[in-house]
Amino acid sequence: MENIVLKRIGIDDAEQLQHIAKQTFFDTFSSQNTEENMEKYMTEGFTIEKLTSEIKNDDSEFYFALAEDNVIGYLKVNTGKAQTELQDNNSLEIERIYVSKDFHGKKVGQILYGKALEIANEKNLQYVWLGVWEKNPRAIQFYRKNGFVEFDKHIFKFGNEEQMDIMMKLNLK
């Protein structure tokens, strides 16, 4: 296993972020969704403008996972008003942990997850939460293994479909 380095993402990294975001999203979800819904989401969800705006948000942090200077995954966490739902000042949301499929099973997700916990602990937050698609057993298993428990569900509008996300949380205190 090569050495994995984490790097905070800045404005200048928006194009690299767009590339890894589209690639990992497509690899993760394309087999279970229609081409039309995938195309719509990838076109609208990962524009340079949208990603730049997210990077600039003081309540969000992005990190690349790098192997030999190649971006192989990324993390996005939110606090405060940047959180997609709960917006509890005592929580951190893991909005995205994505890893290139070539690096699945090589602990990259665990390293990115560790960074999210480190941030939550540095900010002295009470819990970490996230939403994960009910048809993504790999991710659900990953979070359960790390001590997360289900606490709710919510609808995620994906193109012309309504999909169910399982909401999970991990108490830190």
Using the predicted structure, report yes or no on whether residue 1 has a pLDDT greater than 60.
no
| CB contact set of 42 (below 8 Å; sequence gap of 6+) | 22, 25, 26
Distance CA 164, CA 58 (A): 29
30-65 burial: b if 16+ Cβ within 10 Å, else e: eeebeeebbeebbeeebeeeebbebbeeeebbbbbb
Q: Which residues are catalytic?
A: 143
83-96 burial: b if 16+ Cβ within 10 Å, else e: beeeeeeebbbbbb
Q: Tell me the whole-structure pTM to 2 decimals.
A: 0.95
Closest CA to 4 of 105, 77, 106, 95: 106
Class of domain 4-129: alpha beta
Query: What tens digit of pLDDT does each residue of 51-71 get?
Result: 999 999 999 999 999 999 999
Query: What tens digit of pLDDT does each residue of 87-145 get?
Result: 899 999 999 999 999 999 999 999 999 999 999 999 999 999 999 999 999 999 999 99
Q: What is the pLDDT of residue 59?
A: 97
